[in-house]
Amino acid sequence: MELESVLDELRAKGYKLTPQRIEIVKALVEERYEHPSLNRLLERVREKAPTISFSTLYTTLKMLEELGYVRLFYLKGETRVEVNLDPHINVVNLRTGDVEDLVDEEAMEALRRALERAGIRGRPTIVNVMVE
Amino acid sequence: MELESVLDELRAKGYKLTPQRIEIVKALVEERYEHPSLNRLLERVREKAPTISFSTLYTTLKMLEELGYVRLFYLKGETRVEVNLDPHINVVNLRTGDVEDLVDEEAMEALRRALERAGIRGRPTIVNVMVE
DNA sequence: GTATCTGCAAACCATTTGCATAGAT
DNA sequence: ATCTATGCAAATGGTTTGCAGATAC
């Protein structure tokens, strides 16, 4: 996720580039590998745009999800944001809730083969490995 | 998950074997590979025990999770039940919400090696492969 | 007989939505 | 000037909890 290219696409599609949206996208770029919760992200964005509401953050993230920039997922009672949508592995610590990106082409390839053996159509995207 | 062995353990630990609990465990055994939602399971149990409340189902599942018989997880806004806790792959269809078990030792082994390469401690348990 | 369990109903709480005002273009 | 976006505050809805009566033991 690149700051300028996202802002360009939003502009091109007619979305208004409000300070709130700009700060949200900036925060997403910076927290790209952190899988932040909505409230963590809100806190983060408020450092630069103190008046931003949860509501604005929320609708903006839904919009970005629609546009294919992020994916929202649920873990331990809260919504979290996946910014890296390249196929990869998330190592999810079930005890702490930490999520760590793991890029490993060998494992991804083994998974693709397993899906193929099982006759499953569709590409694997994110793989969440629960670790305890 | 075996019906009799679960009931035996509950008895042994001093839990009362109410008709509701027995029907819940039976339903879990039958729906073992279905990853049912709480409401699906409630519907299912009510076929045999029509008066059972959501509350009883809920507290019973929490108890069974505590005892290590099931794991609860969230998908598309609702809680679902994983009965098969052997390490394996869940193929999660992000569009439909369907979850399908996939046992593939080769892929699991590749994932274990990937975790090891990355220096991650802890055993992989359930692996959710998001497919779209 | 008694300690636990059930089921009702209320509480909870993160998310989702409606809407009047503010602001980007 | 116009049309979209913000932020407040209320609604939603699945989950969680308190408790009086019921029940397994």
Residues B64-92: what's their mean pLDDT? 96
In chain A, whose CA is at the least distance from the CA of B101?
Answer: A118
pTM for this predicted structure:
0.92
Nearest C-alpha neighbor of B102 from the set B116, B115, B84: B84
Residue A122 has a pLDDT of 87
Alpha-carbon distances, residue B111 vs A90, B107, B125 (angstroms): 11, 6, 11
- For an interface test with A, which of B73, B105, B131 has the most A Cβ atoms less than 10 Å from its Cβ? B131
Residues B4-17: what's their mean pLDDT? 97
Q: Using alpha carbons only, what angle is made at residue B17 by residues B12 and B21, rounded to the nearest 5 degrees?
A: 120
Which residues does A contribute to its contact with B (CB < 8 Å)? 74-75, 89, 91, 93-94, 100, 102, 104, 106-107, 109-111, 113-115, 117-118, 120, 122-132
B58 CB contact with strand C at below 7 Å: no
Please, what are the domains in chain B? 3-82 (1.10.10.10), 88-131 (3.30.1490)
Per-residue pLDDT tens digits for A101-114:
999 999 999 999 99
Asked if residue B88 has pLDDT above 90, the reply is yes
Residues B52-75: what's their mean pLDDT? 97
Q: Work out the minimum CA distance from B13 to partner chain A, whole angstroms.
A: 25
Alpha carbon distance, N-terminus to C-terminus of chain B: 30
SS3 content of chain A, % helix, strand, coil (to 5): 45, 20, 35
Which structure tokens are listed for A37? 């919760």
Tally the residues of chain A.
132
Helix axes B19-30, B54-66, angle to 10 degrees: 70
pLDDT band at residue B122 under the 50/70/90 scheme = confident
**One digit per residue, pLDDT tens: chain A, 132 residues?**
999 999 999 999 999 999 999 999 999 999 999 999 999 999 999 999 999 999 999 999 999 999 999 999 999 999 999 999 999 999 999 999 999 999 999 999 999 999 999 999 989 999 999 998
Q: Write the residue in B106, B111, B131 that is nearest to A129 by C-beta.
A: B111
- The spacing between the Cα labelled CA in B25 and the C1' in C5, in angstroms, equals 16
- Per-residue H/E/C for B78-124: EEEEECCCCCEEEEEECCCCCEEEECCHHHHHHHHHHHHHCCCCCCE
